Amino acid sequence: MNKPITLGKSMDIIFIISSIIFNILVSILYIATKFGNMEFVQVIGISILFLIIPFTLTLIGYIKEKEEKKIIISLVVILFYFFLEILLDYILIIPFRDILALHIPYIIVFYAADFSMIGVTFDKNKKMGFVVLVTFFILLGCLIYRFVG
């Protein structure tokens, strides 16, 4: 007999799929940047930002389910990254990646968000945690490829 999918389980699925999509899209973004396809970079960048919707929905769902504080805090970190990205790239429109004093904190927030995705996924489903971890390593490989050669 199949168990019904609860709100918590559906939030887990949305969170895990969104984390995988995030890592894959960021990987594609790095490759597109290497090849100088800035129109594609913009499309991918905006696509990444649309992930704020499922991550916000999972935060709301987890709050309703009275999820552990560490999960809620992880979601807040992830959403903080998205709001920082929107603020710097689309509202202030400043070349923050060229300003070391802004770029380093941005990188720290980015990796805190990605590690939060990995940690929450492992907490929810160990097998899928490894999938998200693999997509993170792909992201790192694409980042290295972007700067090599």
Question: How confident is the model over 2-29, as pLDDT tens digits?
Answer: 656 676 789 999 999 999 999 999 999 9
Tokens 């802004």, residue? 102
Cβ atoms of 15 and 55 within 8 Å: the answer is: yes
Q: What is the pLDDT of residue 4?
A: 62
Cα 20–Cα 26–Cα 31 angle in degrees, nearest 5: 130
Helix (DSSP H) and strand (DSSP E) numbers for the chain: 6, 0
What mean pLDDT do residues 54-70 have?
Answer: 96
pLDDT at 114 over 60: yes
Banded model confidence at residue 132, pLDDT cuts 50, 70, 90: very high
pTM: 0.94
User: Under DSSP, is residue 4 helix (H, G, I), strand (E, B) or coil?
Assistant: coil
pLDDT of residue 3: 59
Query: Residue 1 pLDDT > 60, yes or no?
Result: no
